[in-house]
Amino acid sequence: MMVDISTDYMGLKLRSPLVASSCGLTSNLKNLRSFEESGVGAVILKSVYEEEIIHYTKVSITRMLSSGFIYPEAMDYFEFEFNQIKDPLSDYLNLIRNAKAELTIPVIASINCLNAEGWLDYAQKIEQAGADALELNLFILPSDFTRTGQDNEAMYFDVVAKILSKITIPVSLKIGYYSAALGMLIQRLSETGVKGITLFNRMYDPDFSVDTLEFTTTNVLSHPSDFATSLRWIAIMSERVKCDLAASTGIHSGQTMVKQLLAGAKVVSAASAFYVHGIPYAQEMLSDLKRWMEEQSYPNLDAFRGKMSKDRTYNPAAFERVQFMRYFKDR
């Protein structure tokens, strides 16, 4: 039996539901070619960061200067840098142009942002460079004691309203899971006009040594067991949103990809698995997906997608359960 693993995602045609997530591996053309050869449906380029855009945009520096926000001496420093250092923003646009010229799969650009200031014009340049879509990596750590939950959530809607008024390519949001009303937040974001929401980004967690008190980085790569939070929320949300959902974090195997699709994800995006096993591992993940579909006699993804979503499964309560209750009682 021939199975069809192609899918729509954000209005784009993807030949497979496995997407290369934004990370260091998606920052050069050689790797992007390798991802295409290995069967992924789309690539999401390494993010350009809001801080970088603001830092390297002369206009905003001049604006900061005129508002008294920056010391004139600092301007000399920036001028020096502009003359000495290659402009990473132009490099990024070149990467998009080159990737578009060489690849046949969709190329999704990515901006990491907190506010809707300083980078919107650059997003237009990304669109002009030919990116098929833009993913915004929006992560608000709710640690500011002067901001309420509502204030924090308003930041998401502000960013979305501004970006959607600036560009016409599909926009997706990659968010974290910190919200007191996460279901409602995801639902309302899906109604703004964004074409996709990625659940969830994996955050950088600080750690430090007890001997030296030096800060270190923990768990840069995810573990195969880290998929469960995303699985729960894909299952809860997939029948309740007005845009596509992508599953992210902990997708290290074809089997986990199948789970996320059963929960209702349109696509899955993976990064750590390719750091651990290499980019060609995508072929193995996709072969496992196809083998499972053949065994189960599913001719295409729509034949089983969402079958285990909270709204369609035989046991919706499983996704609402958070307490272990009796699990460890007799152990």
Ligand X SMILES: Cc1cc2nc3c(=O)[nH]c(=O)nc-3n(C[C@H](O)[C@H](O)[C@H](O)COP(=O)(O)O)c2cc1C
Q: Is 270 in the site for ligand X (CB under 6 A)?
A: yes
Distances (CA, A) of 219 to 14, 23, 24, 223, 258: 31, 15, 16, 8, 25
Residue list 113-132, contact with ligand X (CB under 6 A): none
Tokens of 94: 């070149």
User: CB 21 → ligand X: shortest distance, Å?
Assistant: 3
Do residues 4 and 299 make contact, with C-beta atoms less than 8 angstroms apart? yes
User: CB 240 → ligand X: shortest distance, Å?
Assistant: 22
Query: In the complex with ligand X, which residue's Cβ is closer, 78 or 139?
Result: 139
User: CB 2 → ligand X: shortest distance, Å?
Assistant: 29
Query: In the complex with ligand X, which residue's Cβ is closer, 61 or 198?
Result: 198
Cα 253 from Cα 255, distance rounded (Å): 5
Beta bridge partners of 12: 9
Do residues 44 and 20 make contact, with C-beta atoms less than 8 angstroms apart? yes
Query: In the complex with ligand X, which residue's Cβ is closer, 142 or 176?
Result: 176
| Choices 80-88, 96-104, 186-194, 220-228 (CB under 6 A): range interacting with ligand X | 220-228
Q: Where are the beta strands (DSSP E) in 52-182?
A: 107-113, 133-138, 171-175
Distances (CA, A) of 265 to 18, 166, 257: 11, 28, 9
User: CB 249 → ligand X: shortest distance, Å?
Assistant: 4
User: CB 92 → ligand X: shortest distance, Å?
Assistant: 11
* Contacting residue, 202, 232, 305, 310, with ligand X by CB under 6 A: 202
| Choices 2-10, 66-74, 89-97, 269-277 (CB under 6 A): range interacting with ligand X | 269-277
| Choices 73-81, 160-168, 217-225, 316-324 (CB under 6 A): range interacting with ligand X | 217-225
Do residues 166 and 124 make contact, with C-beta atoms less than 8 angstroms apart? yes
* Contacting residue, 31, 38, 201, 309, with ligand X by CB under 6 A: 201
Query: In the complex with ligand X, which residue's Cβ is closer, 39 or 61?
Result: 39
Environment class of 150 (CB within 10 Å of its CB; exposed 0-12, middle 13-18, buried 19+) = exposed
User: CB 46 → ligand X: shortest distance, Å?
Assistant: 5
Cα 226 from Cα 270, distance rounded (Å): 12
Q: Is 271 in the site for ligand X (CB under 6 A)?
A: yes
Q: Is 221 in the site for ligand X (CB under 6 A)?
A: yes
Beta bridge partners of 206: 217
| Choices 85-93, 245-253, 280-288, 296-304 (CB under 6 A): range interacting with ligand X | 245-253
Cα 274 from Cα 131, distance rounded (Å): 23
Residues that bind ligand X (CB under 6 A): 21-24, 46-47, 110, 112, 137, 174, 201-202, 220-222, 248-251, 270-273
